[in-house]
Structure 1
C-alpha cells in the first residue's frame, strides 16, 4: 500500500497540475463568453484524446517491458531497448500529428462541428497536432523515471511544464488577445519544457543512450507486443467519447460546452485514479520480474481501495461545489443541467471507470494485454453505443446517464478477470 500511495501520489500531483492548467485554459476561454470558442475546445479535445491515447499506449508498452527488465536486474538491456523504442515512438507520433492537422476540418465535420466553432477548432489543431512528438517524448520520459522508481522527478517534470503553461496562458489569451491560438502556443511551449526537463532527469539514471539501429527491431518486437494492444485499448475510450460528442452536437453549442466542462473537470478531480494506472504498472511488472506473485496481488488490492476512497471524496466535493462551478464557467441553458447531474450523481460511476483502468494496467503488465483491449472496446461499443443511442431520445441528460450505465457492467467484469489472471500467474 505504501509503495502504491507514494508512486501514485507523486504521479497524481504531476497529472493534476497538467490537467488543472488545461481546466484553467478552458476557464480563460469561457470568460471570453463566446460559445463558439468553448464548443471549439470540446470538438478539438475529442480529436486530441485520440492522439493522446496512441501516445499513452506506446508509453504503457515501454513502461511494462522496461520495468520487468529492471526488476530482473537487466539494466543494460533495459537502457538499450528504451533508447531504440523512443525512435519508433517519435516517428509514429510525427506521422499521426501531421495527418490529424491535414484532415482536421474534415474530422471536425464528422463530429458535427460547423461554422465558426469548426474553424476555431481546426486552427487549434493545425498548431498543436504537429507537436504531438513532444507529448509522446514527455510521456516516455516520465514512464522511464517511474520504471526506475524515481517518482519525485517524474512529478517535477510535469509540474515544471504545468507552471510554464499557467504563466503563459493569461498573457497570450488576454494581454495579447490571441484567444484560442494563445492557448495552443502555450501548450506547445510547455510540452517543450517537459521534454527538456525529462531528458536532464534521466541522465542521472543512465536510462538513455545513443539509439542503435540494430536494437530498433528487437525493441519494436518486444515492446510493441505490449504497446499495440495497449494502443488499441486506449483508443476505445476516445472513440467512445467521439460517439458521445457526435450525439451531443445535435443539441447545440450549449450542450457541447457542458460536455467540454465535464471533460476538463474529470482529469483534475480523478488525477489520483488516473495516476494509479501509470504508477501501479511498474510495481506489478517489477514484482513479476522478481517472482513475487503475492505483491502483485497486494498492489491490485491496494489500488482498488484507493480508487474507492478517491471517488467518495471527489463525489462529496463536487456535489457541494456544483453551484460555484456553474458560475465559474459561465454555463447557460442545458449546460447547467449537464454539470449539475454530473457533479451530484454521475460522478459515482467513475468508481467503475477506475476498476476498469486499474484492471487494464494489470492485464498490460502481467502478459495479457488483449484482455484490456477486449474490455475497453466492449465498454466503448456495447457499453456506450446502445446506451447513448437510447439515452439520446431523452436529450443530453439521457446521453450522460446511458454512458455511465455502460461502464458499471464492464468495470465489474474487468476487475473480476484481473484477480483471476493474478491467481493463475
Structure 2
C-alpha cells in the first residue's frame, strides 16, 4: 500500500486549495447571509460551478466516467485528499459537483441505468444542471436494516404505483431537486433480500408531497432533510433501476463510495477545527498563561493531531482497497471508517469549541455547524452500532476461517 500523493494529486491539491482560498472562503459570509434571508440556492453558486468546471475541477469523485462525460476521472485514493480540502466548508463540494447525495446517485445511475435513463437523468446530474435525492429511510422502521423498508412499489399494468413515507431525505427541499431514487418493495413475499427494488421518480410526479424539512440538532439545512409522502405515485415500469428484486444489492453498491466520501470531508472539517484551536490557544490568555500552556488544552491539541492522522490513514487504506478490490471486498474497512471518523470529527470539534469558550457555540466560527453535521454522521449511512456489529461479524468469520485452515494443516502434519 502506497498512500503518498503523486505529483498529479499534489498539483490538484494545490489547485483545489487555491480555488477554495480565492473563491469559496471569501464567500462564506455571503452564503450564510443569503440562506438566512431565504435566498437558496445562493446567487453566486452557478458562477462558482462554471468556474470550477472551466478549471477542470469537476466530477472529481467518479473514476469510471465515459469519454463523453465531463469529469476528472480520479481513483478513490486520488480523490480522498481533495475531498478533505472541500470538507473545510460545508457547502464547498457542490461547487465541484461532488456533493452528496448526488454523488451516490450518479454512481448508481452510472452502474445500473439503461441508455434512456442515462440520457434523461445521469447527463444533467453530471453537468450539474439538476439535483437529486435518495429515498430509502423511513420513520416507522429501523432503516439501517434495508429489509425492513415498508414502502410498496406495486406493479400495475405498464406502471408501478408507489405508496409509503420516507424521512431524512437529503436534497428533497432543494429547488433544483428533480429526481428521487426510491427504494421500496416490489415483492413482499420474496426472499428477504430480494423483495426490494429501486425506481426513478421525477420530483414533480403527482402524489409526491414534501411534508416537512426536518432540522438536525435544531439546525436548518436549506437543501432539506425531509419527510416525504408518496401517495399513489404512478411511474412507468421503464423507471425501474436495474432489475426487480435487486434493490438491496444496488443500495450496497451505492453506500460504499458514499460512506467514504463523507469520511474524507470529515477529516477536512476536523483539520480545520484543529487549526482554529491552535490559533485560539496561542492568542487567548487565562490565569497569566496562553491557553496552550495549560495542560488540558495542550493534551487536546496532541490528541486531536493523533486522532486525525490515524483516521486519515484508515480512510486512505479504505480508498485504496475500493480501488484495488472493490467496495464489496472492502466492506469491513468501509464500516471501520464509518464508525471511527464521525467520532473523531465530533471529538476534535468539541475540543475546539471548548477552547473558544462561548464563541465556539456561536455563529462567529464554523465550529458549531461542523460539530452538528459530525454528530449527524453517526446515523447517516448507518448508525455506529450497525457498523460495529458488521466489523465484529467479519472479524470473527475471518479468524474462524483462519483457525480452521490452521487446524486442518496441523492435523495433516501430525500424520507424518
Q: TM-score range by the shorter chain?
A: under 0.3
The normalised TM-score by structure 2 is: 0.27
* Greater per-residue strand proportion: 2
* Greater per-residue helix proportion: 1
Larger Rg: 2
Instruction: Specify which structure has the bigger relative contact order, considering alpha-carbon pairs within 8 angstroms and separated by 6 or more residues.
Output: 1
